[in-house]
Amino acid sequence: MPMSKPFSQACENNKTPILQILKSAFAKCTHVLEIGSGTGQHAVFFASQLPHLIWQTSDQPGYHEGIHAWINEFPSVNLRPPISLTVGETAWPSLPCDGVFTANTAHIMQKHEAKLMMEEISAHLPEGGVFCQYGPFTRDGEFSSQSNQNFHSQLIDEGYGGYRDISELRQWAKTLTLTTIYNMPANNLMLVWKK
């Protein structure tokens, strides 16, 4: 019996505002690697709306069945099934990508994993490549809202890494330039990096 598709209300809420930025940020990209495809909702929506590029899903193996369920229901010719990618455990995938997208991953990862993710993207994106990073972050150590500070504390209590500061990300992504910071719904940000 096929599994019921995993569902994230947050993905549903933020997919359209994110798409508006990806349309311009990824306008010249041909292959985008999504790190941490999660439920698969973002992938099926963005691939259908960005037909000029290949959208490659990836995540830890435990998420693949759910991602496949979404792709099977909403296939796109430019959407690729998930590859296994666990930061710190698997090698960087040997596939061409001139764009990388990730949403709500850095605050779930431990600090050393978030650092490694930034370093690997920085090392492997080609010249002119674009990295779009969505989620909650701190700026100069400051939280943008009390709810963000509460969520950070909750993440730490549950054993996750918690919010990363934009200054940390900059230090780790040595070859990337943070070109734009967009304010997004629910006190999130979209960071657009270019190499």
CATH of the domain at 114: 3.40.50.150
- Whether 19 is covered by a domain: the verdict is yes
Into how many domains does the chain fold?
1
Which pTM value belongs to this model?
0.97
- Whether 4 is covered by a domain: the verdict is no
SS (H, E, C) the chain: CCCCCCCCHHHHHHHHHHHHHHHHHCCCCCEEEEECCCCCHHHHHHHHHCCCCEEEEEECHHHHHHHHHHHHHCCCCCEEEEEECCCCCCCCCCCCCCEEEEECCCCCCCHHHHHHHHHHHHHHCCCCCEEEEEECCEECCECCCHHHHHHHHHHHHCCCCCCCEHHHHHHHCCCCEEEEEEEEHHHEEEEEEEC
**pLDDT per residue rounded down to tens, the chain (195 residues):** 556 899 999 999 999 999 999 999 999 999 999 999 999 999 999 999 999 999 999 999 999 999 999 999 999 999 999 999 999 999 999 999 999 999 999 999 999 999 999 999 999 999 999 999 999 999 999 999 999 999 999 999 999 999 999 999 999 999 999 999 999 999 999 999 999
- Whether 183 is covered by a domain: the verdict is yes
- Whether 168 is covered by a domain: the verdict is yes
- Whether 2 is covered by a domain: the verdict is no
- Whether 15 is covered by a domain: the verdict is yes
